[in-house]
Structure 1
Amino acid sequence: MTQVKQRATSTEILNHVFRFRRLVAGPDGGCADVPCDACRAPHEKKVLKYIEADEPLHFVIPAFPAKSPNDRKVLGALPDMGERLALEFLQSFCDHLTHYHAPGARVTICSDGHVFADVVGVSDDDATRYRTELEGMVRSFDGSAIDFYALADAYRSTDYDALRTELMAQYAESLASLKHRATQDENVRGMFNGIHRFMFEDRIAVSEGRSRTKVREEAKPVAWEVIRRSNAWSRLVAETYPDALRLSIHPQPVHSEKIGFHLVRTRDRWLTPWHGVALETGDGMFLTKRSHAEELKASLVWRGNRPSHFVAPHLTLQEVMS
């Protein structure tokens, strides 16, 4: 394959990937609809390396930590239809890339549940059960393009308190440095605002009788620590998989080195399966919060003796996303 053909193939691959971008709000110069050369530039060298080697593209995505403890958002502590949809999408995404690059692609889910379980009110046992169930889901549909990597894999131990301490000692940025960057970088501020909203929603759900203002203030240091932990894990992942293309479940700018990535359709650019539920309408699946599905008078579906998702066949996807 000539260099010209390789570059054309790289452009096709990245344009396909960008169809699923999860972008931050704000002006994008039209790049949200039509990716430009600057959108592709941070990733092109890695894509070309896989094309030249005739090997499957490799993506990594720090994601699928554990279910939110907020029962206004989710159906329980274990994966449900939302996770299944996301995992099946990742498999089909890798399958589709064989159209542009015959060896296809694979994706490593760098599960970060144990990285900040103690901060967000999730037990390490729940995080472990969550990952075990995810692996079972992948096996159930022969998700051969998907594998997993987690804190225990990185350090060959399950003493999670010790592992978190080691991770932060090796890879964490100081809180003062992170806060200073937030004053200079609107993307860091946007990240804080998004994580702070999640932490506030989760804490207010278990803070009956306490003022929203008080809970909102208490959620701020938690949000900063989640970001510090998440960034530390990202650095370890980057060091472990230096050649992999980096996907993110958080919204990213159009010209970012990380590609913000939608796993399931949703109207909320921040929502994920572990902070929501799947809702099946008369014409498609949609990710939303449990409280929203209940407000729509959707019916709960059980599978395998536990709640799976909601159905609202009398509604259209457009109606629930409006």
Structure 2
Amino acid sequence: MPLTTAPDPVSTSQSAAILNLLLPHHRTTARRESTVNAESFPHQLRQISAFIRADAPIVFTLPGFPCKSPNPAKVLGHLPDQGERLSLRFLDSLCRDIGRIYPPGARIVICSDGHVFGDLVHVPDAHIDAYSDELRALITTSGLDRLSVFDLRDVLGDLSHTAKRTHVHDRYAPTVETLRAEVRTDEHTLALYRGITRFLVEDTAGFTGTRSALQRECRVRAYGVIQRSRAWGDLIADHHANAIRLSIHPQPVGAPKFGIRLLDAPDAWTTPWHSAALRRGDGTWTLMPSAAAARLGHLAERDGRPSHFEQRA
């Protein structure tokens, strides 16, 4: 589906209607303004129009759902829990809503990226495999047939995890020098670098050095994470060339990636795999570190495993 053909008025109108379903969930660090509407995202409108002209299901790719944070003060374990369940249902419901106004419907390919940088975030590959397998099982058992999972096993098969990471890095990753220059000159890249550094500091458990030493080490690892993330994004583009790229990171209005918020959280960077879910007294859900959630509510289990917290009355 070439994206160079000028969209006709019908596909343009339908593209705007579809994008309007996503706009309430746009994840951005920018201040909300009333002038932001579907026309503020011309790149996504062109992509959606291409699917409409082909009368084909709209395909979105979403890198994320990598693995749980290794910090036990933030999560309930290394397997998906209620945060992931709610997020998957939300994504499937978006596709279902699109199907109501566009009969060919939509689907989202979750590009699980844990193995891409598992060594940099200090999560064992066995835990990443278990997380990804459980993610696929949740999608199947919950009947979320508009979702699928794509990871390095789909690309490089039975190679060792180290060999897979090396292959992706060597083929796609930008140099550290290139990224350092971007951090100095590009506000969005600087915010991403700072956000990842903060997460790495928070996720590190059992560090025996000083706080300043940990921060120095995490700044180095942050560049590695961005390198691998860029590499993974380019690999996804090769395998899903026409898909519309979603992102769990905040994105500027009109960027080629559309940032999407999976669940309510007080921080634009919070994700289900860096936190635990808390059901408030009014029945709504939010995400926060498990240690903070434990102070507000009691632990609930599902299928014999910790699932989420229920706020105390």
Asked if TM exceeds 0.5, the reply is yes
Shift of 1:35: 1.8
Deviation track 1:128-154 (CA, whole Å, cap 9, x = no partner) reads 000111111111111110111111211
1:279 partner letter: L
Q: Is the 8 A contact 2:117 2:225 kept in 1?
A: yes
Runs (4+) of structure 1 exceeding 3 A deviation are 26-31
Question: Distance in 2 between the 1:97 and 1:132 partners?
Answer: 27
Question: Distance in 1 between the 2:101 and 2:206 partners?
Answer: 48
Q: Does structure 1 residue 238 correspond to structure 2 residue 237?
A: yes
Shift of 1:3: 2.8
Identical amino acids, percent of aligned pairs: 37
1:245 partner letter: I
Question: Distance in 1 between the 2:50 and 2:227 partners?
Answer: 31
Question: Distance in 2 between the 1:256 and 1:245 partners?
Answer: 12
Q: Is the 8 A contact 1:157 1:163 kept in 2?
A: no
Question: Distance in 1 between the 2:47 and 2:17 partners?
Answer: 14
Q: Does structure 1 residue 249 correspond to structure 2 residue 251?
A: no
**C-alpha distance 28-302 of structure 1, shift in aligned 2 (>3 A):** closer
Secondary structure of the 1:62 match is strand
Question: Among residues 7, 19, 24, which one is paired with 1:19 in the alignment?
Answer: 24
Task: Tell me which residue corresponds to 2:278.
Answer: 279
Q: Does structure 1 residue 223 correspond to structure 2 residue 225?
A: no
Deviation track 1:234-268 (CA, whole Å, cap 9, x = no partner) reads 01101211110000011110110001111111111
CA RMSD of aligned residues (A): 1.5
Task: Tell me which residue corresponds to 1:189.
Answer: 190
Task: Tell me which residue corresponds to 2:3.
Answer: none
Task: Tell me which residue corresponds to 2:138.
Answer: 137
Correspondences of 1:87-166 after superposition (within 5 Å): 87-166=88-167
Secondary structure of the 1:19 match is helix
Task: Tell me which residue corresponds to 1:54.
Answer: 55
Task: Tell me which residue corresponds to 1:320.
Answer: none
2:259 partner letter: G
1:165 partner letter: T
- Residues matched between the structures, number: 306
Shift of 1:294: 2.0
Question: Distance in 2 between the 1:157 and 1:42 partners?
Answer: 36
TM-score normalised per structure 1: 0.92
Shift of 1:213: 1.9
Task: Tell me which residue corresponds to 1:10.
Answer: 15
Deviation track 1:280-307 (CA, whole Å, cap 9, x = no partner) reads 01221111111221232x1000111110
Question: Distance in 2 between the 1:236 and 1:18 partners?
Answer: 27
TM-score normalised per structure 2: 0.94
2:219 partner letter: K
Structure 2, unmatched stretches of 5+, are 1-6
Question: Distance in 2 between the 1:181 and 1:235 partners?
Answer: 18
Structure 1, unmatched stretches of 5+, are 315-322
Deviation track 1:97-149 (CA, whole Å, cap 9, x = no partner) reads 11221111000011101000111111111100001111111111111101111
